Amino acid sequence: MRLLISNDDGIFALGIRTLANCLAEAGHDVTVVCPDRERSATGHGLTMHQPIRAEIVESIFHPAVKAWACDGTPSDCVKLALWALLESPPDLVLSGINQGANLGTEILYSGTVSAAMEGVIEGIPSIAFSLASHTYKDFLPAAKFAKILVNQLAAKPLPDLMLLNVNVPAVKWEEIAGVTFTRQGVRRYVDVFDKRTDPRGKTYYWLTGEVLEDIEPPEGLNLPQNIPVDVHIIRQNYISITPLQYNLTYPTGLEKLSYWEIPLD
């Protein structure tokens, strides 16, 4: 398959190197276009007020991998690849393997998920891969599962255009309990701004935060309640796969608001 791979951890990240090399060794046609430095938590930001530059990168990946480093956001990278760098569209857009989970409401901020979603916006099925640890460095189990999933999609394509958000537990391959399809949960954070003073005496703030609680998604989203939540299933060492779309319309809200009458005078 023709694969476009990006990320938000940057061109030198071990996750993207492991993913791209594994898939190239499996015989896939792999192209990498990703940020030239870490661009985590950039969401779906695009560069609008300055030029975007991309340079060919050599000697980092498997010899069969074609790679560019871009000075834009993850979404910039995928958009630039699809409209300017690639001669033909890929069969799949992949993003990752991210260092750290992308679960629940974290996906709204995630550059990893946003890069993959850019593929869906352009009509290409996409997958975001994340390793559920900020410190664990063994990306091989996640890359092995990526190869399995890509091969399965080559034989049996997705039934509809969607993004698969895949989170892999930070354990050895033998310790992975299985694969489960999940629904998006909610992660509530305590957003703490650390107030500091710079050498010139001016105040600045450094955003830190930690998970306060994992809670159930709100009712009314028309989600099947018998499907487990991503933030719960990853703790049980299951690989979580959540299908996502970019249409944020709230169907229950439309139904309830349809009875409103809003006069213009």
**Model pLDDT for residues 201-253, shown as the tens digit of each residue:** 999 988 876 666 556 555 655 666 688 889 899 999 999 999 999 988 888 88
User: Distance between CA atoms of 4 and 14, rounded to whole angstroms?
Assistant: 17
Q: Judge whether 37 and 9 are in contact, CB under 8 Å.
A: no
Specify whether domain 2-183+219-254 bears CATH 3.40.1210.10: yes
Residues 69, 33: Cα–Cα separation, whole Å: 6
pLDDT attached to residue 214: 58
Looking at residue 222, what is its pLDDT? 61
133: phi then psi, degrees, rounded to nearest 5: -160, 145
pTM, two decimal places: 0.91
Region label for 234, one of left (φ > 0), alpha (ψ between -120 and 50) or beta (otherwise): alpha
At residue 221, the pLDDT reads 58
What stretches in the chain show pLDDT beneath 70?
Answer: 191, 209-225
> Residue 43: what pLDDT?
83
Q: Where are the domains of the chain?
A: 2-183+219-254, 186-215
Q: What is the pLDDT of residue 56?
A: 96
**110, 112, 111, 122: which is closest to 79 by C-alpha?**
122
